[in-house]
Amino acid sequence: MMKSKPVRMLCLFLTITLLGGVVWAQFQDGFRSRGRFRGNSSPTSGAKNDWEIDEKFEHDAFRFARVKYTSYGWRDKWATDFPESDLNLPHRLRELTSMEVHPESVIVELTDDNLSDYPFLYIVEPGQMNLTEGEVVGLRNYLHNGGFLMVDDFWGEEEWQTFYHNIKRVFPDREPEELPLEHDIFHLVYDLAEKPMIVSIGTWMRGSETERWDADEPHYKGIFDDKGRMMVVICHNTDLGDGWEEEGVDPTYFKQYSERFAYPLGINIITYAMTH
């Protein structure tokens, strides 16, 4: 069972200088071919980021942490878009900000004793989530002690209800609140003029702008503690993870979704989590 202890915030973020004014067209690498980070599509493909971090920042560099959670059925939905999204996002975060970013992401479980070592957690496809009681308690303790959770890539009413059932077990007395476009997560580093609906590359190639018939509008919601700190950001009817994962497949998809929305919003959310 995870020990209840304060989440270790990264002191690096207290002095970080973001590269303000960087526009999306100034991505240093631009569109990258599929082969740059992909081996095969297996999580054990062996692909990795290869930069080194200063030894004095070894324990303070931002490290992307993906949650392995219990779900319905036999498919491991927690691993959707893995490992490519977990390689590409740190790469872009390092490229477009001055923060120290760890080259290796991690997979964590909500019952891990060291969960509080990671101030930012990412859950994908929570529409298939079926948390155990231990996971519920672990997540509640983590968030109450200063942690931040980003939830991404679930669509329509049925998947919302599954997620809602689980998050209400974590916080029976709190409700997700719709975030207005004026909220900092849409403007903190990159200024977004709309709440983006990002579809998977397969859906985009089929000419569709949504994944489901009942998911025609993106929703970004927050769950707040008693002091007004946002503990959870919920990205519903959108898929930032595919924008990270598939950036090297097609240059048009890269321009339309990855460069324009998925990376800017992902960087905004991470920066918000680390500075609030």
Residues of the chain with pLDDT under 70: 1-5, 8-47, 74
Task: Please measure the distance between the N-terminal and C-terminal CA atoms of the chain and give it in whole angstroms.
Answer: 27
pTM for the full predicted model = 0.88
The pLDDT value recorded for residue 222 is 99
The pLDDT value recorded for residue 39 is 34
The pLDDT value recorded for residue 30 is 62
The pLDDT value recorded for residue 48 is 81
The pLDDT value recorded for residue 166 is 99
The pLDDT value recorded for residue 57 is 76
**Domains, in order of start, for the chain:** 11-38+48-275 (3.40.50.12140)
The pLDDT value recorded for residue 56 is 77
